[in-house]
Amino acid sequence: MAKVPFDADGVATLPSDAGVYVFLDAASKPIYIGKAAGLRNRVRAYLNGTDARPSVRHIRRLAREVDVFVTETTKDALLLENALIKQHQPRFNIRLRDDKTYFSLRLDMKAEWPRLEIVRRRRVDGAHYFGPYPSGFACRRTIQWLNALFPIRTCQDSVLYNRMRPCLAYEIKRCVAPCVGLVSRDDYLAIVRKVVRFLSGEDREVVAELERDMEHAAESLDFERAAELRDRLLAVKTTVDHPMVAKGPSLDRDAVAVATAGTLGAVAVVSVRSGVLRNGETFRVKCDGGAAEILSAFFGQYYDASRPLPGEIFVPELPDDCALFTDIFAGRRPGGVAIKVPERGEGVRLLDMARRNAELALSDDGGGEERASETLLGLERKLDLARTPRRMECYDISHLAGGQVVGSRVAFTDGKPDKSRYRHYKVGEEKNDDFAALEEVLRRRLESGREDGDLPDLVVIDGGRPQLRRVLEVVKELKIVGVDVIGFAKARTGARAMGRFGGDERVVKEERDLPIVLDPTSEELKLLVRIRDEAHRFAITFSRKLRAKQAVTSVLETIPGVGTKRARALLKHFGGLAGVKRASQAELAAVPGIDATTAAAVATWVTERLDRLDPDVRA
């Protein structure tokens, strides 16, 4: 069905069937997605205010259109709703965000000599990931413990490929020294596979395999090898005899708990597989609903088609649409999935463990989000802004003697870097005119933002009142409203010496004659310094990259018979100086515009001169 306006007349045309509704803002961007047994009545509840949730007030203010998708059943609507939420990530829907404070162990079997690495993010790269662990210390302790059982390397690649003799780890039998060839790759990978199986829960099988290896070594009269395996087997058995085992029947179970504080929430899931506690994950959410609503959103996004389902899921209360989820899960797992609120025994114990983890995640992260919110509110109040600066953008200009002029834009959302909104700008060659460059960058940004309905709450200019005036002229010319603009710069040396402003940093606004001075120890000032320094770093990095590219072209122009046009043709054809060096004289001559004489000159030059250049230019 076509989109309709979000008003009484438009809503009246909606069907009364089951389906999914999508609220769209002025830029036709989804801001909330929901499902309903009757679309017309459900959407009308948003319009007339009968839905009392706090987020509905914001949806009603921002929504301009509503789009609907009719489905045959509410079950189909639930599946479509969750698919659309994952695709569009609307701002007012409950969305799971991985708790990035946890660490994991990564093991890449594609490496020549795999090793365990500590990482924060799990990527889809074919490697094995184990965890999560609450801290880097816990990861390092696990690696040390595993090295006593399975002697794989812990050194960096730079150490591995440059050692001439074994290190202390080999002497104390914590490594088999692949660095100096004391173990074959096949034997090393056999040990690594035991690590994978052990961390994956196949510990009994690992014990049996070690026993077989020990007996085989003894039968072969390799008593030293047999003794080494005996010691390793004893260490493994000691560990396996004391696992974290869930009590009761060996079912696959999950316990899912929720903790909330205001509009912040956390969901923790504890997983038991074959009777053994295998995994724990936490997710953060922003919400204004209760546990049942959060659990419903969690089930739809967490238990997708790619995740194996357990036989039981313990929850503190049944999620919304519990019957629908039970029906959906029954089609994916033989025997179905029992979603239940435990009253006693193992379910209560596991759910209590999940609850404590959810509360811990909320207290750890919630404090950070609360502090960020207080900082933004403090900026709004102290700088007398029109709105809370949830979206901040800072701009800086960089150049070298007027050449390679570039601008940078960095964006912070809710006080944190939002790198998806970072941008570089190549600027016209106005020699030594930072004001013109700044005006060009802001004009391009604000014009596109006005057309797309994508403008920040606060623009921070790295500069004082002259730069601020230049930008405000652009803002007024483009008739941009609702966007605060400030200048942020260090006070002049004389003013600092006299203590006139009480600090090095100052904020300037159009309507204030004197600069605003923030407490040097305040979180508000630290946030402004951080975004200003990030913009400066981002601009400098891009400017250096362009200068290096220009330097390569200039170097080639020193070859007899090669000018700017031919230099660019060579670089474009071979992808850089390294490609030019690998090319034969015949390949050089095949480049459009390069004759045989010039090709010979280039070949001679790269042979005699290229290795003398700075490594950055050679690359």
In 63-135, which ranges are continuous DSSP H helix? 74-88
Residue 440 and residue 428 in contact, taking contact as beta carbons nearer than 8 Å: yes
Measured CA to CA, the distance from residue 408 to residue 187 in angstroms comes to: 52
pLDDT at 114 over 60: yes
Percent of the chain scoring above 70 in pLDDT: 79
Q: Are strands 264-273 and 276-286 parallel, antiparallel or unpaired?
A: antiparallel
Structure-token pair, residue 172: 């104390």
Note whether 164 and 20 are same-domain residues.
no
> In Å, how far are 355, 381, 556 from 389, measured between CA atoms?
34, 11, 49
The pLDDT value recorded for residue 546 is 58
- Please name which of 280, 235, 236 lies closest in space to residue 254, comparing C-alpha atoms: 280
Q: What is the CATH number of the domain that holds 496?
A: 3.30.420.340
The pLDDT value recorded for residue 576 is 67
Note whether 32 and 63 are same-domain residues.
yes
Look at 25 and 223; give whichever has higher pLDDT: 25
Measured CA to CA, the distance from residue 505 to residue 516 in angstroms comes to: 9
Residues 6+ apart with CB under 8 A from 163: 155, 179, 180
Residue 287: phi and psi, rounded to 5, are -155, 165
Q: Is residue 454 part of a domain?
A: yes
Q: pLDDT-based confidence at 613, cuts 50/70/90?
A: very low
For 371-409, give the DSSP string.
HHHHHHHHHHHHTT-SS--SEEEEEEEEEETTEEEEEEE
Measured CA to CA, the distance from residue 219 to residue 17 in angstroms comes to: 75
Residue 268 and residue 281 in contact, taking contact as beta carbons nearer than 8 Å: yes
Mean pLDDT on 160-186: 87
Averaged confidence pLDDT in the chain: 79
DSSP letter (8 states) at residue 319: P
Measured CA to CA, the distance from residue 20 to residue 264 in angstroms comes to: 26
Measured CA to CA, the distance from residue 588 to residue 609 in angstroms comes to: 17
Output the CA torsion sign for 336, 341, 344, 347: positive
pTM for this prediction: 0.44
Show which of 503, 521, 543 is a domain's final residue: 543
Note whether 395 and 537 are same-domain residues.
yes
- Amino acid type, 509: K
Q: What is the CATH number of the domain that holds 334?
A: 3.30.420
- What 3-state DSSP class applies to 330? helix
Give the angle 367-372-377 at the CA atoms, nearest 5°. 125
The pLDDT value recorded for residue 566 is 79
Question: Measured in whole angstroms, how far is the alpha carbon of residue 230 from the centre of its chain?
Answer: 44
Measured CA to CA, the distance from residue 167 to residue 178 in angstroms comes to: 11
The pLDDT value recorded for residue 555 is 63
Residue 106: phi and psi, rounded to 5, are -115, 135
The pLDDT value recorded for residue 283 is 83
- Please name which of 370, 306, 354 lies closest in space to residue 332, comparing C-alpha atoms: 306
Note whether 128 and 212 are same-domain residues.
yes
Note whether 398 and 498 are same-domain residues.
yes
Residue 611 and residue 618 in contact, taking contact as beta carbons nearer than 8 Å: yes
Mean pLDDT on 152-171: 85
Measured CA to CA, the distance from residue 404 to residue 391 in angstroms comes to: 29
Output the CA torsion sign for 283, 289, 290, 293: negative
Show which of 185, 219, 240 is a domain's final residue: 240
Mean pLDDT on 469-495: 83
Note whether 154 and 57 are same-domain residues.
no
Structure-token pair, residue 222: 């390799």
Any bridge partners for residue 88, and if so which?
A: none
Look at 528 and 96; give whichever has higher pLDDT: 528
Q: What is the CATH number of the domain that holds 592?
A: 1.10.150.20
DSSP letter (8 states) at residue 245: B
- Please name which of 70, 153, 72, 75 lies closest in space to residue 117, comparing C-alpha atoms: 153
At which residue do the structure tokens 């609120």 appear?
Answer: 341
At which residue do the structure tokens 């992808």 appear?
Answer: 575
Q: What is the CATH number of the domain that holds 76?
A: 3.40.1440.10
Look at 204 and 121; give whichever has higher pLDDT: 121
Note whether 564 and 499 are same-domain residues.
no
Q: Is residue 198 part of a domain?
A: yes
Q: Is residue 378 part of a domain?
A: no
Residue 522: phi and psi, rounded to 5, are -80, 150
- Amino acid type, 339: I
Look at 328 and 501; give whichever has higher pLDDT: 328
- What 3-state DSSP class applies to 94? coil
At which residue do the structure tokens 């939420």 appear?
Answer: 85
Q: Is residue 379 part of a domain?
A: no
DSSP letter (8 states) at residue 610: G
pLDDT for 26-82, tens place per residue?
888 899 999 998 999 999 999 887 777 778 888 888 899 999 888 888 888 888 888
- Please name which of 588, 587, 586, 580 lies closest in space to residue 606, comparing C-alpha atoms: 580
The pLDDT value recorded for residue 33 is 92
DSSP letter (8 states) at residue 488: E
Look at 43 and 246; give whichever has higher pLDDT: 43
Note whether 142 and 20 are same-domain residues.
no
pLDDT at 273 over 70: yes
Measured CA to CA, the distance from residue 496 to residue 502 in angstroms comes to: 7
Q: How many domains does the chain have?
A: 5
Note whether 170 and 310 are same-domain residues.
no
Note whether 214 and 122 are same-domain residues.
yes
Name the range with the highest mean pLDDT among 360-374, 546-560, 580-594.
580-594
- Please name which of 263, 221, 235, 238 lies closest in space to residue 94, comparing C-alpha atoms: 263
Structure-token pair, residue 290: 């209760």
HEC secondary structure over 534-552? HHHHHHHHHHHHHHHHHHH
Residue 67: phi and psi, rounded to 5, are -115, 145
Q: Is residue 384 part of a domain?
A: no
Sheet holding 116-119, edge to edge: 116-119, 103-107, 128-133
The pLDDT value recorded for residue 477 is 92
CA atoms within 13 A on the CB side of 120: 4
**Cis ω for the linkage preceding 132 (within 30 of 0):** yes
Range of the domain at 86: 4-93
Note whether 397 and 525 are same-domain residues.
yes
Residue 75: phi and psi, rounded to 5, are -65, -45
Residue 96 and residue 55 in contact, taking contact as beta carbons nearer than 8 Å: no
Residue 195 and residue 150 in contact, taking contact as beta carbons nearer than 8 Å: yes
Residues 6+ apart with CB under 8 A from 618: 577, 578, 610, 611
Q: Is residue 429 part of a domain?
A: yes
Show which of 42, 60, 93 is a domain's final residue: 93
Q: Is residue 386 part of a domain?
A: no
For 48-66, give the DSSP string.
HT----HHHHHHHHH--EE
Residue 155 and residue 167 in contact, taking contact as beta carbons nearer than 8 Å: yes
Note whether 539 and 440 are same-domain residues.
yes
Structure-token pair, residue 358: 């959810």
Q: Is residue 279 part of a domain?
A: yes
